[in-house]
């Protein structure tokens, strides 16, 4: 009943909020949603394009219930931290846990395909998104300790474990096996976690948020955040590292996580005219938008305000570098492609 109580606590924000009349929004930016990223081997040699649609996750859920909000927040922290790294880089097995007593009950453990192997950062970001997509698709039963194998074109490329941070309460091996994976038991992790500050905190960054009239569910707020971080990372991976992030728009439409027939529209752009570049810092770099997006869930939780974001302003060193919105798509008020 513990997890059910947590879930019920998260559900007062009705999934089907009445839509208000159309509101005026910032002009529609140029849409840019590239869908291939580069894959490199350990020596940095270009191998082939990664298609995110070919990454698959095979989960196993245990009976051990975990605090939903801790899972939601730790996923944000994990995605932000890895997305800030070189997309083509690789990392050894790593434990992610937030240094905040409200959320530190949960760890995300990301591993390579076998002991001692590294996982490419791209797979870690895309894989964490898929893990949360699966959990939020059935929140009443999936806020539990779990183990997720990641496959790209049917080849094992890594794994993500969601487990308790409390000593002695790890998942353990008592979990049913997946019918399509002969040995899919939850391994007992041996990684040593170190608490770290949330990745979105940066003294140079100020984020202003103006709320709109529509109310999102807490799940919609988090899912939109995961989707946008994923998209920014993909967009950044196909352009020079010092180039400003291109303007882009995204439609988030994933029932039952988002309200059926009422998707979420998001759009972000460089606000300088002419746009600032690496020669005139600060400028609209992917890292600033990723960190700004990472702040949205915690600020929503702290204020108990899950209204849509009519305007988000991104300021670095007191210079406005970008802006955007995350709203419910209504009639013709928001255009996306």
Please write the tens of the pLDDT for every residue from 110-156: 999 999 899 999 999 999 999 999 999 999 899 999 999 999 999 99
Q: Which residues pair with 155 in a beta bridge?
A: 152
Three-class SS string for 121-161?
HHHHHHHHHHHHHHHHHCHHHHCEEEEEEEEECCEEEEEEE
Please write the tens of the pLDDT for every residue from 183-215: 444 444 444 455 667 778 899 999 999 999 999
Q: Which residues pair with 95 in a beta bridge?
A: 109
Please write the tens of the pLDDT for every residue from 42-77: 444 444 567 888 999 999 999 999 999 999 999 999
Please state, in angstroms and rounded to a whole number, the distance separating the CA atoms of residues 158 and 146.
14
The answer to whether the Cα torsion of 242, 89, 221, 70 is positive or negative is negative
- Residues 87 and 122 sit within 8 Å (Cβ to Cβ): yes
In whole angstroms, how far apart are CA 222 and each of 72, 258, 335?
7, 10, 22
Task: Indicate the DSSP class of residue 237.
Answer: H
Cα maximum dimension of the chain: 59
Please write the tens of the pLDDT for every residue from 256-289: 999 988 999 999 999 877 777 777 889 999 999 9
Please state, in angstroms and rounded to a whole number, the distance separating the CA atoms of residues 225 and 290.
9
pTM: 0.81
Q: Kindly indicate the confidence band of residue 182, based on its pLDDT and cuts at 50, 70 and 90.
A: very low
């Amino acid at each position: 009943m513990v997890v059910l109580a947590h879930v019920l606590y998260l559900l007062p924000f009705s999934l089907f909020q009445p839509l208000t009349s159309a509101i005026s929004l910032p002009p529609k930016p140029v849409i840019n949603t590239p869908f291939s990223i580069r894959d490199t081997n350990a020596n940095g040699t270009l191998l082939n394009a990664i298609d995110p649609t070919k990454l698959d996750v095979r989960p196993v859920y245990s009976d051990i219930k975990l605090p939903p909000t801790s899972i939601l927040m730790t996923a944000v922290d994990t995605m932000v931290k890895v997305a800030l790294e070189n997309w083509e880089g690789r990392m050894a097995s790593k434990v992610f846990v937030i240094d905040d007593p409200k959320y530190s009950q949960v760890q995300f453990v990301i591993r390579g395909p076998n002991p001692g192997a590294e996982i490419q950062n791209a797979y870690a970001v895309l894989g964490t998104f898929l893990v949360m997509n699966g959990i939020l698709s059935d929140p009443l039963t999936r806020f539990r300790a779990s183990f997720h194998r990641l496959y790209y074109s049917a080849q094992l490329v890594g794994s993500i474990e969601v487990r308790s941070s409390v000593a002695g309460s790890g998942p353990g091996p008592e979990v049913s096996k997946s019918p399509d994976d002969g040995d899919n038991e939850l391994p007992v992790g041996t990684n040593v976690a170190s608490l770290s500050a949330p990745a979105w905190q940066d003294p140079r960054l100020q984020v202003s948020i103006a709320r709109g009239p529509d109310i999102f569910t807490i799940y919609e707020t988090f899912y939109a955040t995961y989707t946008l971080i994923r998209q920014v990372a993909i967009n950044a991976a196909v352009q020079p590292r010092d180039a400003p992030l291109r303007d882009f728009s995204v439609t988030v439409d994933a029932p039952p996580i988002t309200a059926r027939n009422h998707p979420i529209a998001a759009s972000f752009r460089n606000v300088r005219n002419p746009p600032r570049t690496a020669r005139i810092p600060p400028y609209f770099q992917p890292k600033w938008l990723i960190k700004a997006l990472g702040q949205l869930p915690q600020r929503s939780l702290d204020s108990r305000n899950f209204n849509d974001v009519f305007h988000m302003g991104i300021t670095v060193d007191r210079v406005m570098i970008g802006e955007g919105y995350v709203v419910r798509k209504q009639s013709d008020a928001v255009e996306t492609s």
